[in-house]
Each structure stands twice: as structure tokens, then as C-alpha cells.
Structure 1
């Protein structure tokens, strides 16, 4: 597959009154043409900071790139000037934010807000730009777009406003669309509609998507690959099936175990103990060690490297070291692994049951 974005060894800090917050600590991942990469993790894991770093939307006076590169079409985005980045934002890389009301200008018609990036990045007149805006509204499912293009954000429902934000993001046919928890503020029915819309639009315009979420149920519906983040690092990456049905990192086990299930026999829902680490003073070894029931002695002394599980699956846990003791994952995770042919718990002769 053709690689469209490459993040390499990215380190980013925030300078605060309390000290230096090491928010991103050696993050690396690739995004391929036409795929959806989901980045998941608890609040504070570094998901949104990573994508805002790609867009260069972090405050320059308090944030600093300490190391690494963000390579897009042969250019390192960390090295571009503000003027050069203005040509990338909206045209090549667009972003959908969580709350559409904070993304839309309440004093401007939605037509003007869609037309603005078209006029800025494409060589078309106002009449042609308005026609494109109407076509975009129709494409994202806004009824009577010829009339509604003249209306203001408060005249639309929450789901319709999110559709308008998507239309603005797609106005210049970007190569990459970053969606930062775009359905969190919506009810379940509208959420499903927006996710279905994004999947259909991706096929039409052949864009690549980075989808940020803490909702693993959403990930299962939209992602091709998944990167799991914790404590400013990526701790596991693989295809959506590998992460859901053959997870290797104890943190991924915890996230999956805490998902509500209609098949659950126990009424009590699992919760990962403890809280994420303080990145003013990051832990020395595996950041998840203090919250893990599976931590080894080396976990608090030395940061684990990535171990290869398959050609597409990697996890940063000492449990995958050849000399590590073999531990049994939680029962919920074993039940998942029984369904995955590459898992040690899978048995083809018994139809997946071991």
C-alpha cells in the first residue's frame, strides 16, 4: 500500500508553570492511502495532541517539538513555516472536531463557511464555489441544500451541524481527514448515521482517515488498523481484527475488558484500576506497569521495545519477550482470542473453541 503520512519518533512537550509536560514520547506510525487508522486510549493518552501536532494547531509559545518528524508528501510538517502550513490545512489535511458548535461561526451562514476554504485553496469564482457548497451539502445528506445554504448554524440540529462540519472539511478534497471524536457529542442513532456517512464519503473521495476515539465500539465499525496509546506512547498497533481478537498488551486487555457486552454474564463492569501517569514526571519503564496485574520486575526498570506479533501487528510489552513467563489473559480476552486463527487459543478443529 502507498504510504501517505509517516510519523517518526515524535516527541512533543508543553511548557507550563508546573514544569515540562512530556505529552508525546517517541510516537511512530504510518498512514496508508485510502485506509482508516483509529487511535484509541483513555483521556490524557496523547491522541488529540498527536493529531493537532500533525495539523500544527498547538500554541507555539507553550508547545515544542523536541524530536522526530511528520512526513507528508516528502515534506516535514514540523519544519514548515506558518504560511506554508496554511496551504496544507484545509487543502491537503482537514480536521473534524468533537463539537460542531465550537467549529462553526454563529455569525456566518453555513454557505459562506463552506465557500471560504474553496475560494482560498482552489482557483474558482464565487458562483462556482457556491455550487460546490450546495453539492457538498447534498452529498452529506442536508435536505434542500439550495435553501439551507443561506441559513445559520443555530437553525440546524446537532447531527446536521456535524454533517456541515464534514462538508467544510471535505471542501477541497483533502488527502487526509482527521476526525477527533466526531460523534461523542451526538446520540447513538445520529452517531451511527455520521459513521456510515464518513465510510461512504471515504470511498467516494478516496481519502485517508485518522479517527480519534475512546469508544472501541466505534473503532470496530470504522477502522482498518488500530493504534493503542497510553502515557504519550503507542503501545500496540495492528489490524482491527488483531487488536480486537488477538490483543497482546495488558493495557489493550484492560480497554477491551471494560467494554459493555450484551453477552456478559456478570453484572459488574470491569474498570482499569488507578489513573494515567503524570507526564510532568513520566515513569521510567512501562508507563502502564503500576496499573497492571501482569507487570514484571523489568517493567518498572526498563521501557519495553516493540515485539513483532505478525507482519502488521506489534506490541510494546515485555510479556512478548522469549524469556518472559507465559501468563493467561483475562477470561474475556481469552474468549476473544478463541475466534482469531493466529491466536494460541484458537483451534480450527473445534470451530474456534479451545
Structure 2
């Protein structure tokens, strides 16, 4: 498969009054043409910072890309000037933000906000851009787009506003679409419609999607591959089936055990003990060690490398080392494994 985007050993820090926050610590992943890659992890794990660095939307006054590359179309985006990035943002790489109300300008008609990237990046006339705006509103499922194009954001519901944000992001048929928790502010029925819409549109315009979420239920619906983030690092990566039915990292076990499914009885849902690491002073070994019920001495001393589980599945945990003791995953994980033929239970 063709790689459309490559992140290589990315390190990002924020300079604060308290000191240097090492928010991203050596993140690497690839995005392939036409696929949906979900980045999962709890708040503060570094999901949004990673993707905002691709768009170069980090605050200039206190953020610093300390190392690594973001390769797109043969260019390293971390080295481009603001002017060069303006030609890529919205045209080749677009972003759907979490809250549609703050993403839209309340003083501008919806149509004008969709027309803006078309006029800037595709040199369309106002008339042609307006026609395309109506077409895009129809594409994202907004009824009576000829009338709605002249309305303001406050005249739309939350779900409709999110559809408008998607229409703006898709206006120039981007090669990469970054969706930063695009359904968090919506209720479950609207959420399902938006996810369905994104899957449909991806097939129509053959775009690659990076989908950021902390909701594993959403991941099951949209992702081809999943990267699990913790403490500013990727700790496990694999196909959606591998991560859901054969996870290997104790953090992924915790995430999956904390998610109810149709088989869950009245047992209490698992919650991962403790809190995420302080990235002002990152831990020496495995960042997850203080919260890991399977912690070993080496976890506190050395950072684990990635161990290969299959050609598409890798996890950074010492439990996969040949000398590590055999550990049984939690019951919730074993239950999922039994539902999926072809995966091995245990180590």
C-alpha cells in the first residue's frame, strides 16, 4: 500500500512556567492511501498534539518541535514556512475539530465559509464556488441546501453544524483528513449518522483519515488500523481486529476492560487505577509501570522496545519478551478473544 504520510520519531515540548513538558516523545507511524487510522488514548496522552503538529497548528509562543519528521508528498512539513503551509492546509490536509460551534464563524453565512477554501485553493469564481458549496451541503446530507447555504451557524442544530464543518474540510478533496474527536459533542444517534457519513465520503473521494478518539466503540465502527497512545508515546499498533480481539499491552487491556459490550453482566466495569504520568518529568522506564498490575522490575528501569506480534501488530511491553512470565489477560479481553476465531488467548 502507498504511504501518504509518515511521522518519524516526532518529539514535541511545551515551555511552561513550571518547566518543559515533553508532550510527544518519539512518535512514529505511517498513514496509507485510503485507510482510516484511529489514534486512541485517554486525555493528555498526546493524540491532538501529534495531529496538530501535522497541520502546524501548535501555539508558536511556547511549543517546540524538538526532533523528527512529518513527511508528506516528499516534503518534511516541520521545515516549511507558514506561507508554504498555507498552501497545504485546507487543500491537501484538512481537519475537523471537536466542537462545531467554535469551528464556525458565527458572523458569516455557512455558504461563504465553505466557499473560502474553494476560492483560495482552487481559484474558483464566486458563482462556481457557491454552486460547489450547495453540492457539498447536499453531499453531507443537509436538506434544502439552496436555502441553507445563506443561513448562519446559529440556525443549525449541533449535528447539522458538524456536517457543515465536514463539508468545509472536504471542499478541496484533501488527501488527508484529520478528525479530532468529531462526534464528542453530539448525542449518540447523531454520532452514528456522522460516522456513517464519513465512511461514505471516504469511499467517494478516496481520502485517508486520521481519527482521534478516546471512545473505543467509535473505533470499532470506523478504523482499519489503530494506534494506542499513552504518555506521549505509541504503545501498541495493529489492525482494528488485532487491537480489539488480541491486544497485548496492559494499557490496551485496561481500555478494553473498561468498555461495556453486549456480554457485560452486572459486574463492575474496570477502571485503570492511578493517573497519567507527569510529562514535566517523564518516568525512566515504561511510563505505564506505576498503573500496571503486571509490572516487573525491568518496567521501572528500561523503556520497552516494540515487540512484533504479527506483520501488522506491534506492542511496546516487556510482557512480550521471551523471558517474561506468562500472564493471562483480564476476563473481558479473554471473552473478546473467544468471540474472534484465529487469535491466541494468553501470551
- Give the TM-score category using the shorter length: over 0.9
Residues 161-176 of structure 1: pairs in structure 2 closer than 5 A: 161-176=161-176
Q: CA deviation at 1:261?
A: 2.3
Find the counterpart in structure 2 of residue 135 from structure 1: 135
Q: CA deviation at 1:46?
A: 0.2
Q: Distance in 1 between matches of 2:342 and 2:322?
A: 18
CA contact (8 A) 1:12 1:65 kept: yes
Mind listing any 5+ residue stretches in structure 2 that lack a counterpart?
none
Q: CA deviation at 1:194?
A: 0.3
What is the CA deviation profile of residues 68-121 of structure 1, one whole-angstrom value per residue up to 9, with x for unaligned ones? Answer: 000000000000000000011000000000100000000000000000010000
SS of 1:338's equivalent in the other structure is: helix
Find the counterpart in structure 2 of residue 312 from structure 1: 312
Residues 72-111 of structure 1: pairs in structure 2 closer than 5 A: 72-111=72-111
Residues 147-162 of structure 1: pairs in structure 2 closer than 5 A: 147-162=147-162
Find the counterpart in structure 1 of residue 332 from structure 2: 332
Q: Distance in 2 between matches of 1:129 and 1:283?
A: 52
Find the counterpart in structure 2 of residue 38 from structure 1: 38
Find the counterpart in structure 1 of residue 67 from structure 2: 67
Q: CA deviation at 1:331?
A: 1.1
Summarize the Cα distance change of 1:342–1:286 in structure 2 as closer, same or farther, 3 Å threshold.
farther
Mind listing any 5+ residue stretches in structure 1 that lack a counterpart?
347-354
How much is the aligned-residue C-alpha RMSD, in angstroms? 0.9
TM-score by length of 1: 0.96
1:288 pairs with 2:284: no
Q: Distance in 1 between matches of 2:345 and 2:185?
A: 38
Find the counterpart in structure 2 of residue 352 from structure 1: none
Q: Distance in 2 between matches of 1:84 and 1:341?
A: 49
1:268 pairs with 2:238: no
What is the CA deviation profile of residues 212-256 of structure 1, one whole-angstrom value per residue up to 9, with x for unaligned ones? Answer: 000000000000000000000000000000000000000000000
TM-score by length of 2: 0.98
CA contact (8 A) 1:246 1:342 kept: no
SS of 2:10's equivalent in the other structure is: strand
Greater shift after overlay, 55-64 or 217-226? 55-64
SS of 1:259's equivalent in the other structure is: coil
Q: Which runs of 4+ in 1 moved over 4 A?
A: none
SS of 2:310's equivalent in the other structure is: coil
SS of 1:309's equivalent in the other structure is: strand
Q: CA deviation at 1:265?
A: 2.3
What is the CA deviation profile of residues 257-291 of structure 1, one whole-angstrom value per residue up to 9, with x for unaligned ones? Answer: 00022321233111000010010000111100100
Q: CA deviation at 1:342?
A: 4.4
Q: Distance in 2 between matches of 1:286 and 1:184?
A: 30
Residues 225-244 of structure 1: pairs in structure 2 closer than 5 A: 225-244=225-244
1:9 pairs with 2:9: yes
CA contact (8 A) 1:304 1:316 kept: yes
CA contact (8 A) 2:246 2:344 kept: no
Residues 176-215 of structure 1: pairs in structure 2 closer than 5 A: 176-215=176-215
1:218 pairs with 2:202: no
SS of 1:294's equivalent in the other structure is: coil
Q: Distance in 1 between matches of 2:285 and 2:278?
A: 14
